[in-house]
Chains A and B, each alone.
Chain A
């Protein structure tokens, strides 16, 4: 009864258009009123959960990674990264398609948001591909799909959110994302290679090592950012939050003093945008803390585990069912909201069949990244369609072939936990 009330009320509130944060808080409030009566609302717990939900040091990595990503997303820096990627991979079959993916992988090491990647480096990628007469269908598809690598390779905002909700190691999760992210990139490059052969897409001429080395030097300062973040965490020097804060300082130094790409008023504008994005995500997390507390208090996860155990599903089938469920959720819900709501319900199921919480985090985020490419809430799809100025239906057709490598990557990551766990095991144990 209480389980259906929990899910039913939340769904109803979502459907009538209540913002995610308020829908979460309200469903906790309504369930409490149903269960204990209007006189027994625990106001102090309500306020305490809403405050303590965001009173967490690992969570601070989110605003810092958003800020660092936004600073790195300024025109000159993305141009330099793209230029380096072009000289590195432009001669491969698929030319600028391969460059697009390579640039997204490099940019993934600086920004933890797929939408930021799609809008920032995506703009440069689409402009270059249009100039080189690539068909829009191809440019939009590869730009949108490669942007989803962003939150898998560290830094990653959804992985930090998951780490906090699941009470898992943020460092382990971020490091666990490296190989799955590279796998996604490699599979996409394979598809681009095949598409290029089929449609006879143009390829750039190999320009030799000298231009490659000079473009590398030009792009070196931003290229150091992933080394600071990943190296700092792997070596145990920084926590993810400290690494994010240092990344911000480093980004400000190179954007304002080395490249002189942004001015103080522009930095203030970036701060304003970051503050608003932070508030949007954090209020959802605060409300999810309240919702999650009530879930645990009313023993919903245990009820779910016993229901699923009664179904006698094999671990293979259960993981498949969770993947299908998350893919459907990804169609309708924003990533961070989905993580905060469904982690407390799904993680106990996964742990019950022996899935490592770190591995499950990667599976969950990868599923939700695919959702970013599908309407009605396909944020990356919308962002790239807007950047390229093409209708959504055309963008959707363009992205469709890229579901194949993404789904293959999802299956490999799901059923071969070593892909996610080998690096954390190697560096953190």
Chain B
């Protein structure tokens, strides 16, 4: 269990650094856009596209962090109606469905990454769309793995409780 906690910590900090870096580049790129247009009178072509793509990366790298912190917005009406074993089973079902969705997106990213690996973005001849799909794919894969870890954790706790109480 301690090693699982360690894995989660490493994933959290790695993706937090990646997401904040993407966020800072997104902000810097947008500021540069205004600066070069109005102060230097020489508009840059690539700033808007870079900022947009960094927004995509901030979203998915940050998505891993948010999933680890369980900060996604949800309607929590059900929490008042189920508890104990029922709540554990429901949480397993919820995680399983989320994992199915993430795997589907991840597979789509894999297909698109292959299709666009050699395609440059419209304004940056050093940046390929395949990189973006790869990064998103890795993020959703990590999210899936985290959900599987959570499901394993929960299942083990349920088994332990059953052994203890015999119910």
Contact = CB atoms under 8 A, between A and B. Distances in A.
The judgment on whether A and B are partners is: yes
Interface string A269-294: 00110111011101110100000000
Contacts of B108: 43-48, 50
Contacts of A16: 78, 90, 93-94
Interface stretch (A22-30, A167-175, A304-312, A389-397): A22-30
B20 A63 contact: no
A37 to B, nearest CB: 14
A19 interface: yes
Contacts of A22: 72, 97-98, 101
A267 to B, nearest CB: 11
B48 A57 contact: yes
B73 interface: yes
B88 interface: no
Nearest to B61: A279
B40 interface: no
Given A276-B71, A279-B66, A377-B75, A51 B132 contact: yes
Nearest to B26: A60
A246 B66 contact: no
Interface in A16-41: 16-23, 25-26, 29, 41
B62 A46 contact: no
Given A47-B111, A55-B53, A64-B30, A334 B73 contact: yes
Given A22-B101, A47-B133, A242-B34, A279 B63 contact: yes
Interface in B105-129: 105-109, 111-112, 115
Interface string B44-71: 0000100111011011111101100101
Contacts of B79: 17
Contacts of A17: 74-79, 90, 94
B31 A249 contact: yes
A333 interface: yes
Interface in A344-388: 376-377
Contacts of B48: 57
Given A51-B132, A238-B34, A272-B20, A63 B58 contact: yes
Most buried by B among A17, A41, A238: A17
B33 A242 contact: yes
Main secondary structure of the interface of A (DSSP, over half): helix
A79 to B, nearest CB: 27
Nearest to A286: B59
Contacts of B112: 44, 47-48, 51
Interface in A240-258: 241-242, 244-246, 248-249
B151 to A, nearest CB: 14
Contact of B59 (A46, A48, A241, A283): A283
A403 interface: no
A29 B55 contact: no
A332 interface: yes
A413 to B, nearest CB: 26
Nearest to B59: A282
A54 interface: yes
A73 to B, nearest CB: 18
A400 B125 CA distance: 58
Contact of A44 (B27, B53, B111, B136): B111
A25 B72 CA distance: 14
A11 to B, nearest CB: 10
Nearest to A26: B101
A241 B73 CA distance: 25
Interface string B83-107: 0000000100110011011001111
A139 B2 CA distance: 47
Interface of B: 16, 19-20, 23-24, 26-27, 30-31, 33-34, 38, 48, 51-53, 55-56, 58-63, 65-66, 69, 71-79, 90, 93-94, 97-98, 100-101, 104-109, 111-112, 115, 132-133, 136-137
